[in-house]
Amino acid sequence: MKYVCALIEFTPQGHVEHFVPDLENGISASRLEGYERPESWRPCEDTQYPDRMPVLDKRPPLEDGIGVLLRAPVLRLADPFKDDAAVNAVIERLSTGNWNLRKCGLEGHLAYWIANGARLGHLIQGRIVWDGQNELAAS
């Protein structure tokens, strides 16, 4: 059985891979944590990484302290590729700064971190390509 990754995040401490829950096969909301950086990360053999899957570099906003982390909504991966009503609430909270550790889906999670200085990229053919970067130049 292969895990399906929905998001890879990089922090000053390392990386986190968030997996899509598959309750029929006993996979609840889970994740894998490691010490990789974007330059050294490689796909795991037992994990499926959908093409164009988001990759988030949270190192820049976290370099200024953990305040941005404490205000962040909690990621909830029920159906990570489906936009739901929580996204609208997240966008509203982006403008007010009132988070209160509410849960949100993948889109809201990405919106929060990008608005706070994180770098967004996507996995393309097993390689991380940052938005605005030429795909042929990606390492």
Given CA atoms 66, 19, 28, 84 in this order, what sign does their dihedral have?
positive
Q: Can you tell me the distance from the alpha carbon of 91 to that of 111, in angstroms, rounded to the nearest whole number?
A: 7
Q: Structural domain of residue 27, as residue ranges?
A: 3-137
d(CA 8, CA 2): 16
How many domains are there within the chain?
1
Residue position matching structure tokens 């899509």:
20
- How far does CA 69 lie from the centroid of its chain? 13
Which structure tokens are listed for 123? 């996995």
Q: How many CB atoms lie within 10 A of CB 48?
A: 13
Positive or negative CA dihedral for 124, 79, 11, 15?
negative
Q: How many CB atoms lie within 10 A of CB 29?
A: 15
Q: What would the pLDDT profile of 77-97 be if each residue is shown by its tens digit? A: 764 444 445 444 544 554 455
- Structure confidence by residue, pLDDT tens digits, 107-129: 889 999 999 999 999 999 999 99
Chain position carrying tokens 């330059």 = 39
pLDDT tens-digit series, residues 14-63: 999 988 877 676 666 677 889 999 999 999 988 889 999 999 999 999 99
pTM: 0.75
Ordered alpha helix ranges (H), 1-105: 59-62, 67-70, 85-96
- pLDDT top residue among 63 and 100: 63
Instruction: Answer whether 38's CB lies under 8 Å from 57's CB.
Output: yes
